[in-house]
Amino acid sequence: METSMSPKICPKNILNVVLFSFFFVNIFNEILCGPATIDPLKVKKKPGYRPSTGGLQPGEIVYEDVTPTTDEPEKDFYMFSVTDIKGKTVSLEEYRGMVTLVVNVASECGYTDSHYKALVKLQNTLAPSGKFTVLAFPCNQFGAQEPKDEPSIEKFAKEKYGVNFPMFSKINVVEKDIPEAWKFLEDFSRLVPNWNFWKYLINPSGHVIATWGPWIPVEDVIEQITEAVHAAADDLVVSDTIHEEL
């Protein structure tokens, strides 16, 4: 008499099948959809991250991990000193608490006219708040379009455009002899100028929050700059209120 016997199911075999299926599904998913990516909107909310513009189009903001690995204090733009256009050493600390737009300018560039006019207008609009200023650094490294000395540069900017924001001595922004303040901007943002009129937007704490190349008109980013200034002004009001209550 024949007896039918059901095959024994081994738990180990079941586990192997499940693991194989999981592995196969993951491989199939990556082939169709590509590897998993991190949502930058979620990343930027994590503690230990700071704003940066590395890797995206100028003006776009992403967040990168800056959790300290040593006891060394974090640097910021306002920690440094620079030389103004008259040869005087100036501590950038005097701009702490303000939003600043740092620009490498040139007198003979195709972007000179449009940028100087827009920067003067921006200064006239936002500087009265006491929370904003443009900081202009002449540079002759791109197309040799800032060949004059500092007195001539200052005279040109003021007489032709009515420049009313701080100007500094002529500097290098690439290769060698870069001032520490500019090295910080480039290291922090991971973006180095490749022409005149690069624009770095700095928050009241001295960190880069956005940067734009010369092909981005100032008029196109006024809204973002204005929002940063309003946020800085709001922080000041809150701080003053707390101080009064104490």
Q: Which residues are catalytic?
A: 109
User: Which element (helix H / strand E) includes 102?
Assistant: strand 99-105
CA distance 181 to 168: 12
CA distance 245 to 116: 43
Helix axes 112-126, 222-245, angle to 10 degrees: 30
Q: 153 in helix, strand or coil?
A: helix
Q: In this structure, what token pair is assigned to residue 171?
A: 């500097």
CA distance 109 to 106: 6
Place of tokens 């791109």: 142
Q: Which amino acid is at 84?
A: D
Q: Rounded to the nearest 5°, which phi and psi values hold at 50?
A: -130, 160
Neighbours of 35 (CB within 10 A): 6
Residues 6+ apart with CB under 8 A from 131: 97, 98, 99, 204, 229, 232, 233, 236
